[in-house]
Structures are given as C-alpha cells and as structure tokens.
Amino acid sequence: MEDKRIGVYICWCGTNIALMVDVEKVTREMAKIPDVVISRDYKYMCSDPGQDLIIKDIKENNLTRIVVASCSPRMHELTFRKALKKAGLNPYYFEMANIREQDSWVHTDRHEATKKAEALILAAINRVRYHEALDSRKVEIDPATLIIGGGITGITAALEIAGSGEKVYLIEQSDKLGGLAAGLDLTFPYLYSAVQMLRTLVRKVNTDPDIKIFLNSQVEEIKGYIGNFEAQISSAEGKETKLKFGNIIVATGLKTFDPSGMENYGYGKFPDVITSTEFEKMLQDGLIQKKNGTEPENIAIIHCVGSRNKNYHEYCSRICCSTALKFANQVRSQLPKANIFELYADMRAFGKGCEEFYASTSRKNIKFLMFDQENELPRVMESEKSDRCDMLIELNEKLSGKAVLVPADLIILMVGLEARQDVKHVAHATGLSICGNQFYIEKHPKLDPVATTTYGVFIAGACQAPKDIPESVSQAKAAAARILSTIARGSVEVEATTSCVNEEICCGCQTCIRICPYSAISFLEDKKVSFVNEILCKGCGTCGSGCPTGAIKCKHFTDVQIFSEIEGLLNMSYSMEEIKEA
Amino acid sequence: MKERIDPRFYVGLEEFGIKTAEWNECFHCGNCTAICPLTEKGVLFPRKEIRLMQMGLKKELHACTEPWLCYYCGDCSKTCPRDANPAELMMSLRRYLTSVYDWTGLARKIYTSKIWEYMLIFMLAAIVLVLYLKFTFYPAAEGQWIGADGGVLINKIAPWHRIHIGDWLMAGFLAFLLISNIFNMWYKVILSDKSVKIPFPAYITQFFSLVWNFFTQQKFNKCDDSKIYWYLHLFLMLSYVSLFTIIVFFLKWFQTDIIHPFWHPQRLIGYIATTGLFSGIFYFIFNRFNKSRQNSKYSHITDWTFLVLLFLTTATGISLHIFRISGMPVATYYTYVIHLMCLVPMLTIEVPFSKWSHLAYRPFAVYFANLKKSAIILPKRDS
Amino acid sequence: MEYKPTILAFLCNWCSYTGADLAGTSRLKYVPNVRVIRVMCSGRVETTFVLKAFREGADAVLICGCHPGDCHYHEGNYKCLRRYLLLQKYIQQMGIHPDRLRLEWVSASEGNIFARLIDEMTETVAKLGPCEVRKTMETIM
Amino acid sequence: MENKPKLKVAAYWGAACGGCSVSMLDVHEKLFDILALADFVFWPIILDTKYHDVEEMPDEHIDVTLFNGAVRNSENEEMAKLLRKKSKILVAYGSCAHMGGIPGLANFFSKEEIFKRVYLENESTFNPDGTVPQPVCEVPEGKLEIPVFYNDVLTLNQVVDVDYYLPGCPPQTERFLEVFMAIATGAELPPKGSVVGARDKSQCDECERKRTDNKLVKKFYRPWEIYDDGESCFLEQGVICMGPSTRSGCGVRCIKGNAPCRGCYGPPPDVIDPGAKMMSAIATMIDAKESDDIKKIIEDIVDPTGTFYRFSLPAAILRKKSIYEEKY
C-alpha cells in the first residue's frame, strides 16, 4: 500500500463556522494526527483561491488524501472532487467533514462544537486512509427525452427541446393537453387570455414532427439510468408502449385543493358556493350568475382555502391572491353595481406588476376584509328573508377586531394547490424524493432548482412547489436547456460508488439477487457467483449489508471505511470523556 | 348582534368632506395611531375610524367618541404613507356625527347643501329684522336721543328688556336643541353599545372631567405643537362664552345709557372679549388662507360661513359700541339691527346644527369616553 | 459535570442526512452529543456497524432513513427496519438496553423533527447512564 | 532423508471436549506416516510428559504445537503462554481455540452465575454446605491450589500470538493431515495468521442442495419443526443455516446429514463477525414490511446469540454479555 500523505483543510465559511468552532485550535490538533502532512484553515475553502490552495499543496507536497471540513458534502463534495481531479489526484481520495450544517449552525456551546468538529474531522481522516481510487464512468446519452405531464410546463419544455431537433415523448394522463392553465379564462396581472395563449402552444406541439404525444397515458415503470432510460407507457385502452430515452422531465404539476372537507365554507351544501376553478369555467363561458340563473348582487371571494393553515396545507399556494384580484376585476367590469368582498388572510400580490394590480383593484370599491388563520375561519351561513341576500358570512375581521356579517349571493373559494394522488407513483418510477408537502425535491433549492438527485431526471413547474405561469415556463425552459446541453455533449459521467462482487469469496448463495431494487445483480451460472452490472447499480449498498460472505463490496462505503469512521468519531468522544473526568 | 357590512355606506358622505379616494387608500399600517399624541389604551384612533368607514359599519361609527377627542394636529396625515389623510377624515366625521346627533335633520341639510344653509341664515335674519322694526324706535329728528354724557340713549331706541325677551327665546331654543342632541349622542354612544355597561356612580365621578375639559381643553393642548393656536382658541372661546352669558343674562348691566369710564368692567370686559374674538378670527382666517397648518389645509364651506358670521357679529358689535359712545343715534340704530341679524343666525345655525356645537360635543365625548373606560367591558363577540 | 452520552447516528443520504442539514440551514439548535455517519441508504447499515459502534463506546446508536415508501432506493429502509428489529432482540440478549438503539424515519423536510429527536434521545439515554459495553469488553477477569 | 531431524510436535488442550484430540487420532493407519516424520514431545492425553518437562525445554524447541480448546482458566493461559514460548509454530486447533467454540457460550454468564448453577442449584448435585471451588484452600495436609476460573472464555489469540488457525469442531482429519504434512514436508507456508485447512469460499460453494434467488422467508423453523425435503436450500425452507458465512472445508458434512450448518468452520476472510454478517443477511430475507409482522417472524428466531454465535461468541464484536446488565 502506498504511504498516505493526508492534507486537512478546515473552512471558516466566513463566520458561519469560525463563530462556533475554534478553527485555529482544530487545525493545530489535526496537524498532530499521524499521516497528516498539512493542516490548514482558510476563510472560504470552496472559493477558487481555496481550491487552488489544495491543488497547490497536492502538487508541491504530493499529498495522496484530502480532507476538507466545511459545509455539507451535499453542498460541495463535487466541487472539491473536481479540485482533486485538477491536481491529478483521484477524486475519490477525498473526504468531507460537515462542520457547518451539522455542527456550527446547530450548537450553542463553542467548546462542545469545537470538540465535535475535531471528532468529525478525525473520523474523516481515519476514513480517507482507506479510500480507494475509483473512476467515474462515462455513459452515452440517448437524445430522446421523456416529459411527464402535458401542462403548460411540459408543453413549453417539449417545444424547447423539439425546437432544436431532438425527439420528445410527451405523456399526458388526461385526454387533452394544457393542464390547469387550460381551465383559466384570463391571466393576472395583465389580463391576457390564457385560452388563446394555450391554443397557439398546443397547435405547435401537435404539429411538431419531433414530439410524440401520448394522451390518457401514464408511465408504469422506468428502468435504466441517465442516458439510457427505458419505460413502459400504458394508455387507458390498455395499450402498452416501450420507450427508450436519455433524460426525463417531470412536469406533473399540482391539483387544486378540494374544499368539501371544510364544513365552515359549506361547499356542496350551498349551491352558490363554488371553487375558483368553477368560477374560471363560468368566466370562460362569459356569464357570471347564480345556479338559478339570476345575477348575484353580493359576491364574496374567500382566499387561502386549504392554504397557509395548519389543518390543511401550511404552505402558500402563491397564485390565489392575484387570481382573486383578477376575479374582482372581471366581476367589476361585468357587474358594475355588484358588491364585491375579498376575504383574505394576507394579501400576497408578489411578482411583476401584481402589487400595482392590487392597488388598482382596491380602488374599484372592492371591500378587503381580513380574517385570521389562527382564529376561527369565516363561516358561511343561511340568511333570513330580511337579509336580502342568499347567504351570510360570519367573519372576525382582523383589522377592526369586530365580528361582522358579510352578505353574499355568490361565494368563490380560492382553493390552493396540492400534490396529485399519483405523486408517489411517479416519484418511485423516476426515483425522485418527496418533501413533507409532497412536492418533488430539487437538487439544490437555490443553485440547482430544476435538477434532482437522480441523474438525468429533471423537475419543472408546479410539481416542485406552487408556481404561476411565468415561473413554470422559465423552469421548463431551464430544464430543457440542461438536457439539450447533455445531449450536445453526447455522454455524461456518472457516480462510481457502486457495488462489486469478489468472485474469490462469493459462494453463490444468491441472497443478494432479490435484494437489489434495480435488478442490477445477476447470477453467473458458469462461475456460480453473483455479478453486479455497475451501470444499473445506483450504489445504495443494501446488497453489501445483505451479503453473508462479505463478497460484495460497496465502493466508497466499505466495512473498513465505515469502521474507521466509527473509531474516529468515538475515540475522540472518549478522550473527551476523559477530559471531563480529569 | 354582529353588524352587517355595508359597502354603500360611504355614498353621499362626500358632502361632509369625507373623501373616499383618500380613506380607501389606507392599508392599516398603523402609523397614524402610533404618531398620534392622544392615542392611549382603548382609544386607538384614527385607524379605527378609517377601518369602520371602509367596512361601512354605521352603528359602530356612530358609537365612536374618538373624532371628538381628536384636535387635528394633523401628524397622522403628515406621516401617512398612503396619503389616506386620516386627520381630515376625523374632521369630516365630526361634521357627519354632528348631523347624526341632530334629530331634526337640519344639521345634515346645512352641511350637505349650501342653499339650505344660506336660506336659513337669511330667513332668520329676516325674522330678526321684522321683530326689530316692530319693537324698537327709530331715532327720529324730534325727541331727546343723546344723554348728558353725549352717549346715545340706547335703551330709548332698543329697550334692553325687549331685546332680552328675544335673547331668552333664542337661548331657550338653542339650549333645547343642544341638550336633546346631546341626549341623542349619549344614546348612540353609550346605550346602543352593547359591549359596555355603565355603572351609574361613574356618571357622577366622571362629571368633573366634563366641566374641566369644557373650560381648559387640556387634551387639545397636549396635541398641538405651537402653543399659540391653543391659546388663541382658548381666548376666543372664553371671550365668546363671557359675552354670550353677559348678553343673555346681564344685558341690563351691559347695555347702559350712561358711558362708564374706560376702566369700568363693563367696558373693559367688552374690549378684552372683542380682542379675543378678533385675534382668534383673524388667526383662523389667515390659516385657512395660506393653508400652512395641516388642520387648515382643507376648508369646508361651513367653516367659512362660521368665521364670516362670527366676524360680522363681532365687527358690528364693537362698531355699535363706538357709535353709541360717540353719540350717533341713527348709526347706532342701524348697526344694532345688522348686529342682531348676524348674531342670531350665527348662534342658531352654528350652535346646535353646525361647527359651534363642538363646544358641547367635545367635552361630552371626553365624558362619555371616560365613562366607557370606567365601565366593565363585556366579552366583545356575542357567541 | 453532568453526564453527556455519545450518540452515533447513521443517516441515509437522501432523507435523513438532508433533514439534518436542513436543521442546520434553518439554524435549529440541538445538543452536540450526536456523531453522524452518512450512508447512501439506511439499507447499507449493517448489524456489524451498530455492534462496532457499541464496542467502540457509543452510548446509543441511532439509525435514520426515509419514511416507509419514500426510500430513494425503493425499499432499503424496509431492509433496515428488519435488521433493526432483529438487532434489538440480539442486543437485549447481550444485556444492552433497547432504548440505546433506535430507528427513526426522518424525511428531507423534517429538520425540526431531527433536532427534537436528538434532544429527546439524548435525554432518555442520559437517564440510562453510560453504556458499559466497551468497558465490559475490555475487562477480562 | 534419514539424517533429516524429525519434527518435534506438541499437542495440548485447553477448555475442550476432547473431540479435537479424537479428530487427530482418527488418522488411523496414517499415524505411521506421521510418526515417520515427527516425534510427539508433549501430548498429555497420550504421553506421560509433565508440564515441567516442557518448562525445561529450551525456547522454540518444539516445531509445531497444536493447541485445541479455549482459554477458560489460569492453567489454560499459563500453558498457552508456555507453549508459545517453547514452539516455533503455534496452531489454534479447532473452533474453541479459533473462536471460543461451544464453551464460549459461557460468556453469557458471569463466573458467579456459573458456580451458582453448577455447584449450588444443579438438581443432581448434593452440596449442603454450599462449597464452591477456591483457588487456594487450607487442608490438614497443607495448602491446596487449583487454577483460577476466569470470568470469560477467551480464544487462544486473545492470550497469545497465534501462527495459524485450523478451524472446525472438530477439524476434519483430512484437513489436519494436509496441514500437518505441509508443515512436516517443509512446503511453503501461508502468511502468519492465516486460516489453514479450510477454503476461502463458504459452505454454499460445496453444498449440493438446490438454490434459487428466492430467499424470502415468511416463517423461520428450527430444524425439527419441519420436514426437510432434503434437497432445497435450508434458508429457502426457512431454516437458519450458517453455511453462507462459514468457510467450507468440512465437506458440508452437517448439511449432507440434513442438518443446517452451524458455523464451526468460522467466517470467510474479511468477515470480522460471522454472526453479525449472518444476522444482517437473514434479516434482509424476512418477507414482511410492517414492524409487527416482522417481529412475529423474528419471534421464531428464539435465541439469536445461540443461533448466530454458536461457535464464535468469544471472537465476536460483543464477545460476552454486558456484565453490567441493564434492567428494563
């Protein structure tokens, strides 16, 4: 075994780490560890000068292993691996200690935090000793792309990709393209017609030779990996199609919240309590009227139905406020005499032109009444004959602190957005993770919002979180651009941390074969041993811990690596115990 | 019972100076309440009134004493980020509330239509003229009209007891209206507010605040930056009240044939009061002209009418005095009638129906507000 | 000085480790007794690792994975659950208190849950006192 | 050939059942070949040599010592140390010396518990004065000393440095012969510390039973609880078989005898703790997703430690029960 020359680099992250961890002390301590040739601290390791520092040291002091203690590896592991590569060192001769997200940011006792940092770094040093050189593999990219979801996001992405002559498969569950946008009349804040907008887009998609559309269809399961996916598409008529493609865009969007569960709004009980979706339909048909066909005199628009409320969804659905303002405008122009009430919890008219839209709307004698999500929500009640209106809304008006009654003949519930029922199915098929709100999780919330942790799978539009049309469209184009760039390159590098079988040891018990979720392991009848297809393997390591002979090695997560990590973490904490006793 | 929102409430209130375009802009940041020197626990104006306006909660608004507690320093309007001009809303609300308290409905007419206002003024003036011609004597050539001291024998022209009868009729009339309106106010502010219940003793214990505020207007003092405004306002008010009492109750002593020496209280008080009135009037007129002060930026027609009438009354009053001591019977005769023709409409219109009524409503508002404070607050929401 | 237990935690990369990071990015505070080892999937956590941890002096071992059904690798977390339950039986046989080994599901969005979990677990383990396994193994007679 | 000095061989047993010695004697007629190459200088069960004879030998006088049995008391340890000193090559012979073996299961109990059970509570023991062995006791004739009974059972390499391990309970005589001959004929020896007389691949490699990849288990059985079909993999029948994490070399004897492997041959290379490895593997085979279902299935594994560590407890990561047992 070649001698280990380890370089340890500890990041201040400005004050983020240095405030809670005594970086200089840790640096000194680490220098004492055997095999550690260099131990440095630096303001921002991830910065270019920071990386150059490492590269320089590797070259000058021919370091063979690098440990960086800074933020989460989920943040910068790749950054530093690249640096190692630059320096001509195998990128996997690197280990990271997370002393920011899991130390300096979460602890309040500087001494303790410093001790913890030492333990974490020691563990990393221990571990990196046993790291082995791995080479990341290149895989060819199938230029076709699968887009799940034929909403405005999916359509835009499809057009974008097909626009540069690449094949696109567009899967839509329903019988027509357009998604939620297809249900809209006008769009806020400039009151363009959504219908017209979509019509042109859909026409383009339908006529584009590079786009193959599957209506009433859904993805059964997706096999493979970036560049070489393979999927089973089944249509409502039970027609099965096999597709091959290199990348996936998930643009499944969201569905509107069903208010039937909220008895206080009496949806379903009162005929003239309708959802925003139903009202859009009404507007598309061009006539605002009650179920009995007469014209409503008092129209109440209730915001945040199912949104920003602990009992339903805590998040803000983002589109409802501006839509409600749009409604107010449309009602005002159709029924100049009508009394219009907006019952809102908070007016969130963010985004270009929307605050102005709110201001102009508020000057059209529209009553903005605030309710309190914490307190009782507004309650719709039957009215007396004497009230001269069909319904009354009981409301604790927040700004005045008065309990009041709001007359209403037509009540529009601004229903929020929520995950579709099949979100889990799609997540499993595509290997995406779902957050607490059942939205797909992006790779990085700020720096990489359309990529996901699964290579070759991108998310765009509302399925990642509620979004309005411009946001969805720009995400669609972003995702498309990402894919086009990989197609242009023709191949991509993928992780090397897979499993492999030591044929000298494997006894062919075949325990591992069913363990693998990607059926990457097969049994070689001739040799009587198991074999891992490293292209299919995604490196979860479950087979390794299921193998009774120790024949399966999980690269980069080997027993000995983890053992040494454990020793590092605990011995340090033991010496701490002794310190305490002393 | 919860009050129902009335989106049309604001309709027709523009006449009082309630500018929808302004208060509608308010988005309730609360700066006005924060800056107001009079805001205290339980009295959170002017945001409250704006909100009630926006929501059209009539009952709630009528139960408000706050407009009367505001002395229009205008800080709220200065700091308002939306130019919702709360101060002016409070001013306009005072006009509106005056009309609300007034059961005859005349106040609303006067505030909302010039025609009505002037018609009333001229009608009253006419009545005065007729009565004057009927019950007084023209100083014809024959007969002795000049006294030994060279002053006009005014009681020969307009005998004080006859005038006195007129005074009393008027005073009675005013008193009746004013008191009944105050009862109306009490009903709207205290009785119809189900959330409070006033223990009777409070009425007595708080009575002092009524009197005290009537004379000192110390609240007013708290909110003004330049003291001069408050002093002049107080001076004017006191001069007005003293003259009013003298004329209504001590006319015999005030309207004499003999000319007292300059230092005689009768004359002295007269002069001081006149100065008080004049300085006040001129100061206010000046303000309303150059709009330097926030509270004089916007002038309702009735504000002008009031000032003009008051000015004329004072002016004619003092010139009447001058003509008398300088022994000019005819001038005295005519001036006297003009003086009455200004005075009577001024009082009859302004005191019960218009601006002048605030001299009663303000202290009562403070009184009622204190009553409410001292009262046990019952749970706000009826559930 | 009051006794501070050491908890060794195995977190799966996709849910729990991300959740722990979230606790950091949202600046939640928890006790500094936990030492985290990142594995790609809770399915990788082998009985050997847990025993090793106790042997090396961990007072408690925590395994966190994605919620059932949410595993990034489909079913790794179920495999982990099975191992965990068998281990529980084994360590109890070896005289280790069951509370010293825990399996919890922490999703990528549950930073707060992770933080609370660490605090609460530290408390329970602190009540148990130091884990004597390491000492036991070191003493011969 | 003639003038080549004979190999000096010693054999000793620590805490053992004697099976190992028998496995050596099972060479039958091959004994002559052995004796042709070697002299036994010390072997208590067949030669009347005494400890002091060994003590008198010069260091490294013995070429090979085959030490079987675990280290349980001071005598075992003393002799292990002595023989180490006197031998060139020390071989841990059999499971007990290798991993503690069956006696190692005593690590479940403390010395006190064991004495209590054996000398006081044992139904067949009559011991009214409750006498328990004392290392030293005074008798009229003078002072009596017996070895000190340790609290733990130890493997040989836990007390002395071991050159080779010859696993098995007992080791197969053929394997013994192979190894012995290799040493005797001066063939090239594997690196120190390696396991000899066993293959790297584990049992399944030699096992003739039918195996598929379907190792999902809905219920575990102990061997007598089911009718073994005699041909399909024990694991697939739900019988826990240590075969996968046990070296082959025994010629899959137990399995051939329709009994699942118990793991006496010890773990394949790189496996630190065969029990743990096997536990890990067995757990993944459980065919259930809900905790309660899984627990139910696990209930059938009545005694995990006894099952997975039958021969290897003292060599395991947790080599004994925590003496500071926690109450719950």
Say if residues D266 and D99 touch (Cβ distance below 8 Å): yes
CA terminus-to-terminus distance, chain D: 68
8 Å CB contact of A401 and B380 = yes
Q: What ranges in chain D are assigned the alpha helix state H?
A: 19-25, 30-37, 51-56, 74-86, 94-99, 111-115, 173-184, 234-237, 253-256, 274-285, 291-299, 304-308
Sheet holding D38-42, edge to edge: D38-42, D7-13, D62-68, D87-93, D164-166
* Chains D and B contact (Cβ–Cβ under 8 Å for 3 or more pairs): no
Q: Using alpha carbons only, what angle is made at residue D225 by residues D221 and D230, rounded to the nearest 5 degrees?
A: 85
Q: What is the pLDDT of residue D325?
A: 53
Q: How many CB atoms lie within 10 A of CB D185?
A: 9
Mean pLDDT of A88-104: 95
8 Å CB contact of A570 and C35 = yes
The whole-angstrom distance between D1's CA and the closest CA on chain A is 38
State the Cα–Cα distance between residues A351 and A148, nearest whole angstrom: 28
CATH 1.10.1060.10 residue spans of chain B: 14-101
pLDDT band at C81, cuts 50/70/90? very high
> Which is more confidently placed, A580 or A421?
A421
* CA distances in angstroms from A35 to A118, A119, A407, A560, B11, listed in the order given: 16, 17, 79, 18, 86
8 Å CB contact of C83 and D308 = no
Q: What is the pLDDT of residue B358?
A: 86
State the Cα–Cα distance between residues A129 and A35, nearest whole angstrom: 9
Give domain C7-138's CATH number out of 3.10.450, 1.20.1260, 3.40.50, 2.60.40: 3.40.50
Q: Is the pLDDT of residue A578 over 70?
A: no
State the Cα–Cα distance between residues A132 and C37, nearest whole angstrom: 18
- In tens, the pLDDT along A313-363 reads 999 999 999 999 999 999 999 999 999 999 999 999 999 999 999 999 999
Note whether A558 contacts D: Cβ–Cβ < 8 A. no
Say if residues B284 and B192 touch (Cβ distance below 8 Å): no
DSSP string, B51-85: HHHHHT-HHHHHT--HHHH-----HHHHH-TT---
- In tens, the pLDDT along B48-83 reads 899 999 999 999 899 988 898 888 888 899 999 988
- In tens, the pLDDT along B91-136 reads 999 999 999 999 998 889 888 888 998 999 999 999 999 999 998 8
- In tens, the pLDDT along D309-322 reads 999 999 999 998 88
Q: What is the pLDDT of residue B376?
A: 57
- In chain D, what residues touch C54 (CB-CB under 8 Å)? 317-318
State the Cα–Cα distance between residues A79 and A286, nearest whole angstrom: 56
Report the percentage of chain A scoring pLDDT > 70: 98
Report the percentage of chain B scoring pLDDT > 70: 94
Q: In this structure, what token pair is assigned to residue D193?
A: 């510390």
State the Cα–Cα distance between residues B233 and B284, nearest whole angstrom: 9
Q: What is the pLDDT of residue D327?
A: 53
DSSP string, B185-248: HHIIIIIT-TTEE--HHHHHHTHHHHHHHHHH-HHHHHH-SSHHHHHHHHHHHHHHHHHHHHHH
Note whether A506 contacts D: Cβ–Cβ < 8 A. yes
**DSSP letter assigned to residue D160:** S
- In tens, the pLDDT along D211-263 reads 998 899 999 999 999 999 889 999 999 999 999 999 999 999 999 999 999 99
Q: What is the pLDDT of residue A226?
A: 87
Mean pLDDT of A44-71: 95
Query: Which three-class secondary structure state does DSSP give residue B72?
Result: coil
Query: Which three-class secondary structure state does DSSP give residue A447?
Result: coil
pTM, full prediction: 0.68
Chain D residue with minimum CA distance to A530 = D213
Q: Domains in chain D, start-ordered, CATH in brackets?
A: 7-103+152-184 (3.40.50.700), 106-150 (no CATH), 203-303+311-315 (no CATH)
Of D218, D260, D211, D264, whose CA–CA distance to D239 is shortest?
Answer: D260
Of A232, A228, A193, A210, whose CA–CA distance to A157 is shortest?
Answer: A210
Q: At what angle do helices B227-249 and B160-186 cross, to 10 degrees?
A: 130
Of B147, B189, B141, whose CA–CA distance to B365 is shortest?
Answer: B189
The whole-angstrom distance between C26's CA and the closest CA on chain A is 8
Residues composing chain B: 383
Chain C residue with minimum CA distance to D107 = C94
Chain A residue with minimum CA distance to D281 = A546
State the Cα–Cα distance between residues A132 and D109, nearest whole angstrom: 42
Note whether A363 contacts B: Cβ–Cβ < 8 A. yes
**Residue ranges of domains in chain C:** 7-138
- In chain B, what residues touch A407 (CB-CB under 8 Å)? 4-5
- In tens, the pLDDT along B312-322 reads 999 999 999 99
D→C interface, C-beta within 8 Å: 150-152, 154, 272-273, 276-277, 279-280, 282-284, 286, 288-289, 291, 294-295, 298, 301, 303-305, 308, 316-326, 328
Alpha carbon B240 to its chain's center: 11
8 Å CB contact of A400 and B51 = yes
As assigned by CATH, the class of the A256-418 domain is alpha beta
State the Cα–Cα distance between residues B10 and B53, nearest whole angstrom: 7
Chain A residue with minimum CA distance to C53 = A566
Of A51, A49, A43, A59, whose CA–CA distance to A5 is shortest?
Answer: A59
Q: In this structure, what token pair is assigned to residue B78?
A: 């200065």
Q: How many CB atoms lie within 10 A of CB A285?
A: 10
Give domain A6-136's CATH number out of 3.10.450, 1.10.3470, 3.40.50, 3.30.470: 3.40.50
Tokens 């733990």 — which residue? D152
State the Cα–Cα distance between residues A288 and A336, nearest whole angstrom: 12
The whole-angstrom distance between A329's CA and the closest CA on chain B is 16
Note whether D240 contacts A: Cβ–Cβ < 8 A. no
Pairing of strands A391-397, A379-382: antiparallel
Q: What are phi and psi of A15, to 5 degrees?
A: -110, -5
**DSSP letter assigned to residue D108:** G
- In chain C, what residues touch D321 (CB-CB under 8 Å)? 93-95, 136
The whole-angstrom distance between C124's CA and the closest CA on chain D is 13
Beta-bridge partner residues of A458 = A249, A451
Q: In this structure, what token pair is assigned to residue C102?
A: 């825990």
Q: In this structure, what token pair is assigned to residue B288?
A: 């309303």
8 Å CB contact of A433 and C66 = yes
pLDDT band at C20, cuts 50/70/90? very high
Subunits that touch chain B (at least 3 Cβ pairs < 8 angstroms)? Answer: A
Q: At what angle do helices B265-290 and B301-325 cross, to 10 degrees?
A: 150
Q: What is the pLDDT of residue B228?
A: 81
State the Cα–Cα distance between residues A483 and A475, nearest whole angstrom: 12
* Chains C and B contact (Cβ–Cβ under 8 Å for 3 or more pairs): no
* CA distances in angstroms from B155 to A405, B85, B133, B249, B274, listed in the order given: 65, 53, 15, 16, 22
**DSSP letter assigned to residue B16:** G
Residues composing chain A: 582
Chain A residue with minimum CA distance to C21 = A101
Q: What is the pLDDT of residue A574?
A: 46
> Which is more confidently placed, A171 or B29?
A171
Tens digit of pLDDT per residue, chain D (328 long)? 455 788 999 999 999 999 999 999 999 999 898 999 999 999 999 899 999 999 999 999 999 999 999 999 999 999 999 999 999 999 999 999 999 999 999 998 888 889 999 999 999 989 999 888 888 988 899 999 999 999 899 999 999 999 999 999 999 999 999 999 998 888 888 999 999 999 999 999 999 999 998 899 999 999 999 999 889 999 999 999 999 999 999 999 999 999 999 999 999 998 989 999 999 999 999 999 999 999 999 999 999 999 999 999 999 999 988 866 555 4
Subunits that touch chain D (at least 3 Cβ pairs < 8 angstroms)? Answer: A, C
- Omega before D170 within 30 of 0, i.e. cis: yes
Chain A residue with minimum CA distance to B2 = A404
Beta-bridge partner residues of A415 = A305
State the Cα–Cα distance between residues D201 and D208, nearest whole angstrom: 14
Query: Which three-class secondary structure state does DSSP give residue B378?
Result: coil
A–D interface: beta-carbon pairs under 8 A: 79
State the Cα–Cα distance between residues D295 and C68, nearest whole angstrom: 16
> What sign for the dihedral angle of Cα B342, B343, B347, B348?
negative
Mean pLDDT across chain A: 92
Q: How many CB atoms lie within 10 A of CB B179?
A: 12
State the Cα–Cα distance between residues A9 and B41, nearest whole angstrom: 59
Q: Alpha-carbon dihedral of residues B73, B74, B78, B80, nearest 10 degrees?
A: 120
Q: In this structure, what token pair is assigned to residue B62?
A: 């009528």
Note whether A514 contacts C: Cβ–Cβ < 8 A. no
The whole-angstrom distance between C38's CA and the closest CA on chain D is 19
Note whether A509 contacts D: Cβ–Cβ < 8 A. yes
The whole-angstrom distance between A537's CA and the closest CA on chain D is 18
* Chains A and D contact (Cβ–Cβ under 8 Å for 3 or more pairs): yes
Note whether D7 contacts A: Cβ–Cβ < 8 A. no
Give domain A145-254+419-492's CATH number out of 3.90.1150.10, 3.50.50.60, 3.30.420.40, 3.50.30.10: 3.50.50.60
Which helix (H) or strand (E) element contains residue B122? Answer: helix B114-135
8 Å CB contact of A403 and B2 = yes
Pairing of strands C7-12, C34-39: parallel
Q: How many CB atoms lie within 10 A of CB A566?
A: 27
pLDDT band at A561, cuts 50/70/90? very high
Q: Is the pLDDT of residue A396 over 80?
A: yes
Q: What is the pLDDT of residue C138?
A: 79
Shortest CB distance from A405 goes to which of B4, B21, B48? Answer: B4
**Residue ranges of domains in chain A:** 6-136, 145-254+419-492, 256-418
Report the percentage of chain A scoring pLDDT > 90: 82
Note whether A546 contacts D: Cβ–Cβ < 8 A. yes
Note whether A579 contacts B: Cβ–Cβ < 8 A. no
pLDDT band at B37, cuts 50/70/90? confident
Shortest CB distance from A574 goes to which of C14, C37, C57? Answer: C57
Tokens 């496996």 — which residue? D271
Shortest CB distance from D244 goes to which of A509, A515, A542? Answer: A509
Assigned fold of B14-101: Fumarate Reductase Iron-sulfur Protein; Chain B, domain 2 (1.10.1060)
The whole-angstrom distance between A580's CA and the closest CA on chain D is 22
Identical fold between A6-136 and A256-418: no
Chain D residue with minimum CA distance to C133 = D322
CA terminus-to-terminus distance, chain A: 39
Note whether A424 contacts C: Cβ–Cβ < 8 A. yes
- In tens, the pLDDT along A424-439 reads 889 888 888 888 789 9
Of A238-252, B231-245, B285-299, the least confident: B285-299
Q: What is the pLDDT of residue B224?
A: 60
Q: What is the pLDDT of residue D3?
A: 58
**DSSP letter assigned to residue A67:** E
* Chains B and A contact (Cβ–Cβ under 8 Å for 3 or more pairs): yes
